[in-house]
């Protein structure tokens, strides 16, 4: 049985909910990967931005898909794409920092639209 720490959610070996609501194994694995990935980022602002990006876009999308059915098969590919996006966003932030730039000064790259996960 898998238990998501601190939530009281559990999944039986057959993937069926025991007494508690069903939890998608791939989604749990993604959450674990994200926590481990964020822990490797030294810059606290970069870590905060990536966490917001993950919560606002990636996890919201995965959660919606998991509600419709298990994230297996082609959905596992979606999880891998989500991981790549987080990794690429982290690399982008690192490149900006190497050049002495900050994300909030890159408004033209974002089409002038301020995203909810960006700092003011």
| Domains in the chain: boundaries | 23-120
Q: Helices 60-68 & 74-98, crossing angle to 10 degrees? A: 180
Say how far apart CA 19 and CA 103 lie, in whole Å: 45
CA angle 86, 83, 97 (to 5 degrees): 25
- pLDDT tens digits, 71-94: 776 656 778 888 999 999 999 899
Checking if the pLDDT of 58 tops 70, the result is yes
CB 28 within 8 A of CB 70: no
Q: What is the pTM of this model?
A: 0.67
- From the list 27, 29, 6, 25, the residue with the least C-alpha distance to 17 is 25
């Amino acid at each position: 049985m898998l238990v998501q720490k601190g939530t009281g959610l559990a999944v039986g070996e057959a993937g069926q909910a025991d007494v508690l609501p069903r939890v998608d194994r791939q989604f749990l694995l993604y959450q674990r990967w994200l926590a481990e990935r964020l822990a490797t980022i030294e810059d606290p602002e970069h870590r905060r931005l990536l966490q917001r990006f993950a919560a606002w876009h990636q996890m919201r999308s995965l959660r919606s898909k998991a509600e419709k059915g298990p994230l297996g098969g082609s959905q596992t590919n979606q999880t891998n794409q989500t991981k790549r996006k987080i990794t690429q966003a982290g690399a982008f932030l690192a490149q900006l920092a190497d050049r002495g730039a900050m994300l909030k000064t890159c408004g033209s790259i974002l089409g002038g639209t301020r995203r909810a996960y960006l700092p003011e």
